[in-house]
Structure 1
Amino acid sequence: MKLHRDHPPEGTVRDWLDGRADAGGTGFVFPEGASPLSWDSLRSRAREIAAMLTSQGIAAEESVAIMMPNGRPAIECLFGVLYGGFRATMINLVAGDEAISYALSHSEARFAFVGPEQEELFSRTADPAHITALSPDGGPSPDVPLHDITPQSHALLMYTSGTTGRPKGVVHTQCSLLAGGWTTAIAHALTPEDRGLCVLPIYHINGLCVTVMGALVSGGSLALVSRFSASNFWAQAAQSESTWFSVVPTIISHLLHSENDPDPDCIARLRFGRSASSALAPEVQRAFETRFGIPIVETMGLTETAAQILSNPLPPGTRKIGSPGIGVGNEVAIFDSGFNKLPPGQEGELVIRGPNVMLEYLKNPEATADSFTPDGWLRTGDLGRQDGDGYVFITGRLKELIIKGGENIAPREIDEALYSHPDVIEAAAFGRPCASYGERVEAAVRLRSGSSITPSDLIAICEKRLGKFKSPDQVFLLDELPKGPSGKIQRIKIPVEIDRHMRR
């Protein structure tokens, strides 16, 4: 199987795993101790798992839940489910019991691969009358014919965070899942010689599509660790001989404020770092690149698009600080409220069309219809503008805008003002109900240890950059801001966390 820049991958995940196995080579390494996994060994194990699932009477495209952390068993189970033509239903282990129970029930999965450390969580959240736990280790493989699968067959079911209601189940096909890895591979010019470092959970779309599918499609390999650790990150990158990594802005900030430095050989080997999932503050990006000498490529992706939709070019191409880049592998536009394309410079909703776009929201035709324009563009819910070179600048979320006295305020503006102080590790602005203005602006911040800066100092910084009207009325100092599985700060949960903090 060969990567082509001009058209997305053809075939199925089974086809691509067969091709990689036939070509040989290492697929995955595990810096925390598990033995490496060649593409050929992965195919053998995937076939065993696929045959076992088939022998259980599971239909093609039926959900099979995967309730496991990053590791060799999770990779084997994921590819086993995909190889067998089933719908891999990735369970977010930190979503909370209610959301996990909903995903297991809504997906109608009758079987779930459950890691040893997740057995208690499974027992709390699963209905034993409808779903059976399977051991990742498995047993001998029965000799049964596997289901026929096509590029249009269901392959992945991943639930959104549910910040505006019940989580929605995003369905990807075999071909859109592969296209998610392809957009990453062509944007970053990945080759069989590249090895990514994955510290993000593969039950999140970034970890699964950017790094796992990116390795499959490019023919390279992946170093996979259980979780991000600022104290171990550079050692893991060096030990695994990684050439690139994919992280989120909070991780970049934590690495920047850590006392650990990579060794010179590690820096020389790393071609780039990749940032996604939320906006990267320009001050943080510049400071990281100045300290470590590793270029950061800002990107943007969605669960609904199998991750990446935008990316800045690699050096020496033009990286525009503050922009997640241009469309690579898909079409990008800015629409007004009537779904008309806007010219460069005008603000509207970012929309996407391409081979990596989801098939549907499972069992939710109304939400599916609402997410697409009449001519098939996916509505992202992000506000932004596009410059004359095609670079997109995100200005906010339609549902996150703070409306103060009838004026729209994008939280990102305030975030970036707060990040301009070097002691700020995490920052997020949000709106609170207010009798005078409808909403008032507040913000939460995490500072580096030993910092003497005060909330008043931070408000003054914002007022100098943004003016008093847009600046926070209050800034709260927290030990940690609430985050999702990818490390993205969850703005909607901050007021609850502040209230809990104030009651202590």
Structure 2
Amino acid sequence: MLARTVADHPGVEAVVDAEVRLTYGDLGEAVHQTGKSLIALGVSHGDRVALWAPNSHRWVVAALAATGIGAILVPVNTRYKGDEARWVLEKSGARLLLVDNGFLGHDYLAMLGAGPDRTAPVPGLPDLTDVVLIGGADNPGTTGWDAFLRLGRTVPDATAAARSEAVAPDDPSDLLFTSGTTGRPKGALTTHRQNLLTYRAWCGRTGVTRGDRYLIVNPLFHCFGYKAGVLACVLQGTTMVLQAVFDTTRTMSLIETERITVLPGPPTIYTSLLDAPGRDRFDLTSLRLAVTGSAVVPVTLVRRVRAELFPEVLTAYGLTESCGTVTACSAGDDDETVALTVGRPLDGVEVVVADPTGRRLPAGQDGEILVRGFNVMLGYLDQPPDAPSAVDPDGWLATGDIGRLDERGNLTITGRSKDMFVVGGFNVYPAEIEQVLTRHGAVAEAAVVGAPDARLGEVGRAYVTLRPGAPADAAELIGFCRERLANFKVPREVVVLDAFPRNASGKIHKAGLRHP
């Protein structure tokens, strides 16, 4: 992929990272030299290379270099603390860690228990033989970036080329760990072929193309940042502009100065831009395409984004186990289709909805979403033989998500099966209530969870944030729901928040809402 784009578009700007600007020719050369340095450190075909760092040009270079010599990339969440990161490093058997030590003031190596007088890079991780700093101050037992690059000078170009040519389409390319919302994170293995087929199809559906300038603020450790970002851009010869941390003012400044055309992200990015004080001081007219995904994207938000920011707004759905994408809307879909569904399956991907017995359900009925196709992972890393498999013998991936298909094949996400709660014997899916709440003109975002109730077992508790200058109280919002929902679905309580707790991908962290 990279070699083809470098050959076809060597002078096209590939990466913008603050003052660093790389053409595709520059990027190809940087990846080649970094690959030689990885070889000099002893990284072999199939070794796991972990990358614990924020969005940066070095992240992009290191990821493409590692996969380009046949290593398996293991991105690590920058929000992780020591125990969480240690779990990923231990379970993946990471041979090498590339780390930006000190990002946002975090001493990642100290979190892992690496002391100043250590002899091994990280005690208790015997597979981890080397640590390379892609950012931060030099540390004992680590190799700085410049010294790391010097190591590669001893490796002949022909050796690196041979390693690249030995990489096969069905070799694993990356090992991304799930978010861990149902227990410890699990590592999903996917291949080079799967990822390139998926994001060639994703680009075809969304319309991302050469000439676009794509702001990647989604974290690169996540599929949305790495695969729908870096891989999609390199496939198309698109310019990627990197932002390490979302900041509304900084984002608007980048849109203006870099003439950004594509800005994917969670819904909160768009609400933040729409409601930003002083938005009219920035020229945002270059914006062309927004791509988002969530169980709830309010119709009013889609209409506002189309009217005020982006001519095109699309929604999509995916999960780590499916290379990050299963379905997507298309340009030309109307506001209701974009807001109320996540579009149709990619070509070559099948989606069905099933009841707990596995029986396929007709259009309009809720059930578990099952996926089959080229994008379904090889499997979880080191899954115990007696553990139930997420992929059945016929290739169907059980997603754990609940949804329904319409007559046109569009998928609507109702919620996660684990998010469902039962009110007096009736199943309630939060996404339906959240969609209603966000139709209220004062509500910016909503999240609903089940709360204990002595009589009914559980009832709904809603949390909302309000749009600036648009007040609403709990009684008004409960009444709004009562007019539009069956009584058992109406939340018994509404809590107004200044802001939601969020994970590193910008999604609302519901676990932090389960206590009043």
TM-score using structure 2 length: 0.87
Counterpart of 2:359 (choices 340, 362, 368) is 340
1:480 partnered with 2:492: no
1:65 partnered with 2:84: no
CA drift at 1:434: 2.8
C-alpha separation in 1, matches of 2:51 and 2:282: 39
CA drift at 1:238: 2.6
C-alpha separation in 1, matches of 2:343 and 2:175: 27
After superposition, where does 1:324-363 map in structure 2 within 5 Å? 324-329=342-347, 330-363=349-382
Counterpart of 1:385 (choices 395, 404, 409) is 404
Q: Deviations over 1:346-377 (max 9, x none)?
A: 22221222222211111115598521233111
Q: Are the aligned partners of 1:156 and 1:177 in contact in 2 as well (CA < 8 Å)?
A: no
- Partner residue in 2 for 1:102: 87
SS in 2 for 1:247: coil
C-alpha separation in 2, matches of 1:433 and 1:260: 43
CA drift at 1:402: 1.3
Q: Are the aligned partners of 1:310 and 1:324 in contact in 2 as well (CA < 8 Å)?
A: yes
- Partner residue in 2 for 1:120: 107
- Partner residue in 2 for 1:25: 11
C-alpha separation in 2, matches of 1:487 and 1:264: 23
C-alpha separation in 1, matches of 2:272 and 2:395: 39
C-alpha separation in 2, matches of 1:96 and 1:368: 28
1:205 partnered with 2:223: yes
Query: Which is further off, 124-133 or 326-335?
Result: 124-133
- Partner residue in 2 for 1:11: none
Closer/same/farther in 2, CA of residues 126 and 160 from structure 1, 3 Å limit: farther
After superposition, where does 1:295-310 map in structure 2 within 5 Å? 295-310=312-327
Aligned amino acid, residue 269 of structure 2: I
Query: Which is further off, 121-130 or 388-397?
Result: 121-130
C-alpha separation in 2, matches of 1:25 and 1:483: 39
1:315 partnered with 2:300: no
1:434 partnered with 2:459: no
Q: Are the aligned partners of 1:312 and 1:318 in contact in 2 as well (CA < 8 Å)?
A: no
C-alpha separation in 2, matches of 1:260 and 1:367: 57
- Partner residue in 1 for 2:263: 245
Q: Are the aligned partners of 1:34 and 1:72 in contact in 2 as well (CA < 8 Å)?
A: no
CA drift at 1:161: 1.2
Counterpart of 1:410 (choices 411, 423, 429) is 429
**% identity of equivalent residues:** 28
Query: Which is further off, 439-448 or 194-203?
Result: 439-448
CA drift at 1:493: 2.5
CA drift at 1:342: 2.6
Q: Are the aligned partners of 2:14 and 2:237 in contact in 1 as well (CA < 8 Å)?
A: no
Q: Deviations over 1:382-422 (max 9, x none)?
A: 11111111111122221111111110111012212221233
Q: Are the aligned partners of 2:295 and 2:414 in contact in 1 as well (CA < 8 Å)?
A: no
CA drift at 1:188: 1.4
Closer/same/farther in 2, CA of residues 317 and 419 from structure 1, 3 Å limit: closer
How many residue pairs end up in the alignment? 480
1:446 partnered with 2:465: yes
Q: Are the aligned partners of 1:289 and 1:296 in contact in 2 as well (CA < 8 Å)?
A: yes
- Partner residue in 1 for 2:511: 492
Q: Deviations over 1:189-228 (max 9, x none)?
A: 2322222221111111101111111111222221221122
CA drift at 1:125: 2.1
CA drift at 1:98: 2.6
Query: Which is further off, 393-402 or 333-342?
Result: 333-342
Counterpart of 1:143 (choices 155, 159, 163) is 155
CA drift at 1:88: 0.9
C-alpha separation in 2, matches of 1:262 and 1:305: 39
SS in 1 for 2:353: strand
Q: Are the aligned partners of 2:423 and 2:456 in contact in 1 as well (CA < 8 Å)?
A: yes
Closer/same/farther in 2, CA of residues 417 and 244 from structure 1, 3 Å limit: same
Aligned amino acid, residue 84 of structure 1: I
Aligned amino acid, residue 200 of structure 2: W
- Partner residue in 2 for 1:133: 131
- Partner residue in 1 for 2:253: 235
Counterpart of 1:171 (choices 180, 189, 196) is 189
CA drift at 1:325: 0.5
1:272 partnered with 2:289: yes
Q: Deviations over 1:275-294 (max 9, x none)?
A: 12443122222232233353
Q: Deviations over 1:432-484 (max 9, x none)?
A: 23332221211222234555422222222222221432122222222322211
Q: Are the aligned partners of 1:29 and 1:240 in contact in 2 as well (CA < 8 Å)?
A: no
Closer/same/farther in 2, CA of residues 81 and 348 from structure 1, 3 Å limit: same
Query: Which is further off, 468-477 or 450-459?
Result: 450-459
Query: Which is further off, 418-427 or 90-99?
Result: 418-427
C-alpha separation in 2, matches of 1:25 and 1:368: 50
- Partner residue in 1 for 2:487: 468
C-alpha separation in 2, matches of 1:50 and 1:110: 15
CA drift at 1:170: 1.3
Q: Are the aligned partners of 2:328 and 2:346 in contact in 1 as well (CA < 8 Å)?
A: yes
- Partner residue in 1 for 2:119: none
Q: Deviations over 1:259-309 (max 9, x none)?
A: 343689743x33321112443122222232233353311111211112221
C-alpha separation in 1, matches of 2:247 and 2:448: 26
Query: Which is further off, 171-180 or 336-345?
Result: 336-345
SS in 1 for 2:403: strand
Structure 2 alignment gaps of length 5 or more: 115-121, 135-144
Counterpart of 1:256 (choices 274, 277, 281) is 274
1:458 partnered with 2:456: no
SS in 1 for 2:483: helix
CA drift at 1:105: 1.4
SS in 2 for 1:25: coil
